[in-house]
């Protein structure tokens, strides 16, 4: 997620620098290499599902020839503003979730693509900007929306969500074993005063959580859960994976980078379901040519190197999974 400029202007390893923030794209080379952009594939059509600050997009464009195309998606208005500065006729940006890729590309007359990259993480500028409300490490308004132009903020949702639903969100999306205590504490506090700041919420959670893993802030799982719910991240991922599979041409690859266990589990299970087939009863008279065939081939599971984690600790939890669409059709 770097600022997108031409390959001649800066090396691809240069991290994005914007006022007050810096971002390093995780698994940059590994993810783009997985798409196999060499040879005839350099003239294909590709999707970058999360433009962010343009790191993956910039590297993909550096591999494409003059006839190649890259269509990127992002919900974040700041990412869209960065992408709109790109002066490249091969590139276009869509201010929507990647879950809308089928509709967005159909409007452009495109039904198949030659590769799709989905980076499911939030960017460092989003986390480090206190005004976005994603982090408990700095005090800021409790927003958490990736798209600040629409939808309900975390503060508005916490003001009215029923306690049982809040507990379920924290438990299911944060995998938080103290979800009951945290939900109860939040509901009790909002009866006294509005919960509108990140430090305020983090303090409530810390008081409710009596033990926590060494080195992990008590609010980590709760903030993750609320962010996932507010942005419908898992719903978007479910729809986006299905759409990506439908749009991949035979031989095209899907590369997905996830950053927490809920995402990675969904990706793993989806790809596995497309890579296996139900075997028919051996006693049935079925010709070999009529046997069901797998629809995808699992290619790789890649973790960041030790050097990348040392340079960027936020890469530690990342997992890249790669699969290839086979020619058998759906």
Instruction: Give me the DSSP letters along 216-283.
Output: --TTHHHHHHHHHHHTTHHHHHHHHHHHHHHHEEEEEEEEEEE-SHHHHHHHHHHHHHHH--PPPPTT
Q: What is the pLDDT of residues 269-296, one digit of tens each?
A: 999 999 987 665 566 666 655 566 889 9
Query: Does 140 or 327 have the greater pLDDT score?
Result: 140
- The CA distance from 124 to 133, in Å, is 13
pLDDT (mean) for 204-221: 87
Q: What pLDDT score was predicted for residue 289? A: 56
Q: What pLDDT score was predicted for residue 291? A: 62
Q: What is the pLDDT of residues 71-103, one digit of tens each?
A: 999 999 999 999 999 999 999 999 999 999 999
- The CA distance from 283 to 255, in Å, is 38
Q: Is 323 helix (H, G, I), strand (E, B) or coil?
A: strand
**C-alpha neighbours within 13 Å on the C-beta side of residue 52:** 30
Query: Does 24 or 273 have the greater pLDDT score?
Result: 273
Q: Is the pLDDT of residue 128 over 90?
A: no
**Cβ contact 65:44 at 8 Å:** no
Q: What pLDDT score was predicted for residue 20? A: 40
- The CA distance from 305 to 74, in Å, is 27
Q: Quick one: tokens of 188?
A: 């009790």
Q: Is 62 left (phi over 0), alpha (psi -120 to 50) or beta?
A: alpha
The answer to whether 56 is a known ligand-binding residue is yes
- The CA distance from 100 to 203, in Å, is 37
Q: Nearest-CA neighbor of 37 among 15, 5, 13, 70?
A: 70
Q: What is the mean pLDDT of the chain?
A: 88
Q: Quick one: tokens of 42?
A: 């350099």
pLDDT (mean) for 216-241: 95
The answer to whether 98 is a known ligand-binding residue is yes
The structure's pTM equals 0.87
**What strand order describes the sheet that includes 319-325?**
91-94, 69-73, 45-48, 113-119, 248-258, 319-325, 296-302
Neighbour tally for 278: CB within 10 Å: 5
Q: Is 126 helix (H, G, I), strand (E, B) or coil?
A: helix
Domains and CATH numbers, the chain: 16-125+233-325 (3.40.50.150), 148-230 (1.10.150.170)
For residue 87, the Cα-to-chain-centroid distance in whole angstroms is 25
Q: Nearest-CA neighbor of 117 among 310, 255, 284, 278?
A: 255
Q: How far is CA 293 from CA 24, 108, 137, 253, 254, in A?
A: 40, 31, 50, 18, 19
Band (pLDDT 50/70/90 cuts) for residue 6 is: very low
For residue 134, the Cα-to-chain-centroid distance in whole angstroms is 15
Q: What is the pLDDT of residues 166-200, one digit of tens each?
A: 999 999 999 999 999 999 999 999 999 999 999 99
The answer to whether 55 is a known ligand-binding residue is yes
Q: Is the pLDDT of residue 12 over 70?
A: no
Q: Is 48 helix (H, G, I), strand (E, B) or coil?
A: strand
232-262 as b/e: b if 16+ CB within 10 A: bbbebbebbbebbbebbeeebbbbbbbbbeb
């Amino acid at each position: 997620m770097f600022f997108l400029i031409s390959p001649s202007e800066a090396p691809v390893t240069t991290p994005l620098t914007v006022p007050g923030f810096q971002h390093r794209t995780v698994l940059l080379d590994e993810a783009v290499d997985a798409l196999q952009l060499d040879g005839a594939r350099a003239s294909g059509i590709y999707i970058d599902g999360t433009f962010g600050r343009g790191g993956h997009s910039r590297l993909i464009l550096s591999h494409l020839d003059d006839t190649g195309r890259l269509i990127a998606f992002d919900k974040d208005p700041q990412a869209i503003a960065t992408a709109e500065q790109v002066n490249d006729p091969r590139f276009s940006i869509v201010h929507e979730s990647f879950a809308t890729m089928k509709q967005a590309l159909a409007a452009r007359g495109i039904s198949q693509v030659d590769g799709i990259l989905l980076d499911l993480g939030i960017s460092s500028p989003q986390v480090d900007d206190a005004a976005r409300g994603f982090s408990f490490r700095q005090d800021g308004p409790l927003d958490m929306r990736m798209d600040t132009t629409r939808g309900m903020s975390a503060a508005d949702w916490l003001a009215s969500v029923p306690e049982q639903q809040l507990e379920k969100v924290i438990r299911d999306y944060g995998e938080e074993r103290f979800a009951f205590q945290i939900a109860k504490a939040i509901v009790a506090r909002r009866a006294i005063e509005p919960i509108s700041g990140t430090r305020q919420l983090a303090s409530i959670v810390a008081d409710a959580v009596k033990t926590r893993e060494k080195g992990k802030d008590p609010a980590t799982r709760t903030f993750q859960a609320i962010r996932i719910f507010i942005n419908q991240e898992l719903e978007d991922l479910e729809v986006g994976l299905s759409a990506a599979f439908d749009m991949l041409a035979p031989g095209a690859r899907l590369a997905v980078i996830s950053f927490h266990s809920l995402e990675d589990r969904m990706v793993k299970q989806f790809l596995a379901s497309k890579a296996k087939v139900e075997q028919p009863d051996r006693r049935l008279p079925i010709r070999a040519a009529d046997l069901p065939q797998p629809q995808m081939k699992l290619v790789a599971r890649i973790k960041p190197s030790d050097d990348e984690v040392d340079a960027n600790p936020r890469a530690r939890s990342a997992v890249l999974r790669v699969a290839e669409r086979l020619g058998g059709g759906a």
